[in-house]
Structure 1
């Protein structure tokens, strides 16, 4: 099962979620993800999605404007269950 790099900041009842770029995180860098790849089940920043798209032309990626297709944050999933 894939693990997602994510953080949730609780502020009263408001939750702000962000995901970290999987490729950058492997290099010990902290970069916010702008895309999610369903095939790889990984997150990518602007820089890394360019390389990913060159290598994997048939993979389906979703940007922040389509976050409904991104995985649910574990804390939210637990709450809903």
Structure 2
């Protein structure tokens, strides 16, 4: 499903887990995801979300701030 690209821990802060873009990962690229589509159950970077939004106009992907949903 999702792959963790890295974990960032700063002094006094919570751990932040970054996910890889599902489409880029299939192409062996390590781009951090900025969006999540609940309908597709996939993560997308800023580049790939444009094409996803063109193909799947009724999907409503979450931005990085809402990924905990």
TM-score grouping bracket, smaller chain normalisation: 0.7 to 0.9
TM-score by length of 2: 0.84
Partner of 2:2: 4
**Which runs of structure 1 show a deviation greater than 3 angstroms over 4 or more consecutive aligned residues?**
10-14
SS at match of 1:68: coil
Structure 2 vs 1, CA of residues 10 and 29 (structure 1 numbering), >3 Å: closer, same or farther? closer
Aligned residues: 67
Offset of residue 65 of structure 1: 1.7
Indicate the structure with greater helix content. Answer: 1
Name which one, 1 or 2, has greater alpha-carbon Rg: 1
Q: Which runs of 5+ in 2 are unaligned?
A: none
Residue matched to 2:47: 47
Tell me: higher relative CO, structure 1 or 2? Use CA pairs within 8 A at least 6 residues apart.
2
Alignment of 1:54-65 (within 5 A): 54-65=54-65
